[in-house]
Amino acid sequence: MAQKKPAALIIGISGCSSSGKTTIARLLRDIFPSGTFVLHQDDFYRPEHELPYKNGLLDWDCAAAIDIPAMAESLTYIRQHASFPPTLDSKEDKNSVGACPVPDTTIAALRSRVASALGPSHPLRTGSLRLCLLDGFLLYPPSVAAVHPYLDVRFFLRASYQRAKARREARQGYVTIEGFWTDPPGYVDKVVWPNYVAEHAWMFENGDVEGEYRWDVLEREGIKVQRGLDVDGDMEQTLEWIVDALLEELADRPMEHGQSLS
């Protein structure tokens, strides 16, 4: 009898730039069973000469900067093979996100929690199911609707303007197709933050991205957020919340995906 192909559960982890999504994705990859892998939206940037301009600056932080059809094609491959597309050379995994703000003891405890929750016959442990963690600054707005059908679970992280600005401006730069990019002066105020607000205002009351969520919208779109926290959440608490939420998802449908997607 031919062996079934492994299935993929695609987990969206999105939020504003510098909200901690890449750090969270990398930690989840280490906490969940081997076979879990990260796909970065940033690996689908168009060549620099194709990027639009905003306020006189190259705009890396908009939908037009992303090759969305290529991203959808990679997600199709993941649906079919439950593995990272072999033709995709990840530049984003070469970028530093700074020192990990989550203690090693917490990471070890979460790894033990996951191991205890997933028995030896669970599809994640046997390899018949794999998690793809899709890390991206722009996953849920209408401008990237082509990727929505691929997202099985959707997490959203936010940050205040002050924290996002401080974290973004503290970065050394980014590996790109052309070489290396460093944000020019004023980039957050002229490009990053205005784009984030424009693309995500629909998720918040009165369009205030530092205010209350529109809970009816989040429920309709299946977007999971932390409740009862200030706009700037704690990274350790966020990681624990996502781990618990994923374990709930896996408990509800461990075999469903292992069968229907293979």
Residues labelled as active-site residues = 42
Instruction: Give the integer Cα–Cα distance in Å for 94 and 213.
Output: 34
**Exposure of 126 in the CB half-sphere (CA atoms within 13 A):** 15
Beta strand 180-181 pairing with 129-136? unpaired
Q: What is the 3-state secondary structure (H, E, C) of the chain?
A: CCCCCCEEEEEEEEECCCCCHHHHHHHHHHHCCCCCEEEEHHHHECCHHHCCEECCEECCCCHHHECHHHHHHHHHHHHHHCCCCCCCCCCHHHCCCCCCCCCHHHHHHHHHHHHHHCCCCCHHHHCCEEEEEEEECCCCCHHHHHHHHHCCEEEEECCCHHHHHHHHHHCCCEECCCCEECCCCCHHHHHHHHHHHHHHHHHEHHHCCCCCECHHHHHHHCEECCCCCCCCCCHHHHHHHHHHHHHHHHHHCHHHHHHHCC
